[in-house]
Amino acid sequence: MSCAFGLCLAVPLLVCCVSPGVAASWWSMGAAGSSRVMCDNVPGLVSRQRRLCQRHPEAMRSIGLGVAQWTAECQHQFRQHRWNCSAPHRERSLFGRVLQRSSRESAFVYAISSAGVVFAVTRACSQGELKSCSCDPKKKGSAKDNKGQFDWGGCSDNIDYGVKFASAFVDAKERMEKDARALMNLHNNRAGRKAVKRFLKQECKCHGVSGSCTLRTCWLAMADFRKTGDYLWRKYNGAIQVVMNQDGTGFTVANKRFKKPTNNDLVYFESSPDYCIRDRDVGSLGTAGRVCNQTSRGMDSCEVMCCGRGYDTSRISRMTKCECKFHWCCAVRCQDCLEVVDVHTCKAPKTAGWITQT
Ligand SMILES: *[C@@H]1O[C@H](CO)[C@@H](O)[C@H](O)[C@H]1NC(C)=O
Ligand SMILES: *[C@@H]1O[C@H](CO)[C@@H](O)[C@H](O)[C@H]1NC(C)=O
């Protein structure tokens, strides 16, 4: 153990006071506020994470802000599903509860959160917000691709730094625990980090005689985080159920008919609850009151979303922008129109008096 700047003195004290709680995780950094993250006040950091926090306060700020981005991405991907990745503030533990189960939802959340850290730290490097990193120093000089020679220029995203930092910070907790669940989390964390790296793209600017592009300057940039979200969403849908192998060092696929997971695949142990009714024990909020789509045949259809309980329809009117016209130059002017639409919301289960209706 390295003891930089006497920080190790403080560590044992801190360890004792972290409740081994349900939602205790670096995820709560999103709630710690962006202006100043106080490493000692973030619940659920393990000592190694706390040390990184103290040594890299600006990186922690980026990670904290990143929590909002990856939770929003998670909610976007799950918007049409019974479980919608929401973590209501009143019931912060619920997000933690659902993730206690080793389900595919957990696999997704671990992957996207770890991807989110890579993205946030890498971007902060490029924007010069971190003392410990900058643009990718390896992307210097000239190189060649199928369109010919070019110069590396500008600021290439330093994804290797982002991946390294994310791995050190995010994996710290699981590296201390050698059980099956830790192994599952580590696998999905890594899949998340790799996903971001997949969407690095080379961007170039042409110089030379009017668009001839004989001279180019290129740099590597991360694609929009949505790309990572969409990719991990496909991996969620194809997630592979596994069991620990005999010697406890890896996984074997639970059903021999399915393929062996690669490092890019998400893995999980337990099947998911149906998330139909509110059940604190499994972290399900239920779907009572959720908006469903009467004409859809997918997961957001009223049949599926409401779990066959039926739905209520209410007619609402709302103002929308309409008859928009383009005025030369350059404005778009619209009218306000009153639109009447039917909104369908799932009924609550009949027997469950403990559903709170608002
Ligand atoms: C997600 O689900 C919860 C509980 O069913 C609901 O209260 C919330 O409004 C939903 N969020 C979105 C964005 O649909
Ligand atoms: C409902 O589902 C249909 C068919 O998938 C789709 O075209 C429509 O846009 C959806 N409506 C809403 C309000 O999402």
Residue 111 to residue 185: CA distance in whole angstroms: 8
Mutate which of 78, 95, 290 for ligand 1 pocket (most atoms within 8 A of beta carbon): 290
pLDDT exceeds 90 at position 178? no
Say how many C-beta atoms besides its own lie within 10 A of residue 331's C-beta.
Answer: 8
Contact status, residue 72 vs residue 113, Cβ threshold 8 Å? no
- Distance of CA 86 from the midpoint of ligand 1 (Å): 6
* DSSP character string of 282-308: GTEE-STT-EEBSS--STTBHHHHTTT
Cα dihedral 350, 353, 356, 358 sign: positive
Tokens representing 352 are: 């469950």
* pTM across the whole model: 0.85
DSSP string over 3-39 = -GGGHHHHHHHHHHHS---SS-SGGGGGTS-SS---G
**Of the residues 76, 79, 290, 295, which should be mutated to test ligand 2's pocket, given the most ligand atoms within 8 Å of the CB?**
295
Percent of the chain with pLDDT over 70: 86
In this predicted model, which residue has the larger pLDDT, 12 or 235?
235
| CATH numbers and ranges of domains, the chain | 3-273 (no CATH), 287-354 (3.30.2460.20)
The residue to mutate among 296, 311, 318, having the most atoms of ligand 2 within 8 angstroms of its beta carbon, is 296
Please answer whether residues 133 and 155 qualify as being in contact, where contact means their C-beta atoms are separated by less than 8 angstroms: no
Q: Read off the pLDDT of each residue in 229-247 and give the average, rounded to a whole number.
A: 95
Contacts of 348 (CB under 8 A, 6+ apart): 286, 288, 289, 309, 355, 357
- Strand (E) or helix (H) holding 200: strand 200-207
pLDDT of 157 strictly over 90: yes
Q: Binning pLDDT at 50, 70 and 90, where does residue 194 land? A: very high
Ligand that lies nearest to the alpha carbon of residue 81, given by its number in the listed order: 1
Residue of 229, 237, 167 lying closest to 199 (CA atoms): 229
Percent of the chain with pLDDT over 90: 58
Hey, whose CA ends up nearest to atom 12 of ligand 2? 293
AA identity, residue 238: G
Q: What is residue 92's predicted lDDT score, i.e. its pLDDT?
A: 58
* Ligand closest to CA 341: 2
Residue identifier of the C-alpha nearest atom 6 of ligand 2: 296
Q: What span, in angstroms and rounded, lies between the C-alpha atoms of 240 and 220? A: 32
Q: Is 345 close to ligand 1, i.e. is its CB under 6 Å away?
A: no
Residue 85 alpha carbon, nearest atom of ligand 1? 1
Asked if residue 88 has pLDDT above 70, the reply is no
b/e 78-110 (16+ beta carbons within 10 angstroms → b): bebbbbbbebeeeebbbbbbbbebbbbbbbbbb
Higher-pLDDT residue of 87 and 346 is: 346
* Closest C-alpha to ligand 1, atom 13: 79
Cβ–ligand 1 distance for 82 under 6 Å, the answer: no
Residue 181 CA, distance from chain mean position: 19
Q: Is 285 in the pocket of ligand 1 (CB under 6 A)?
A: yes
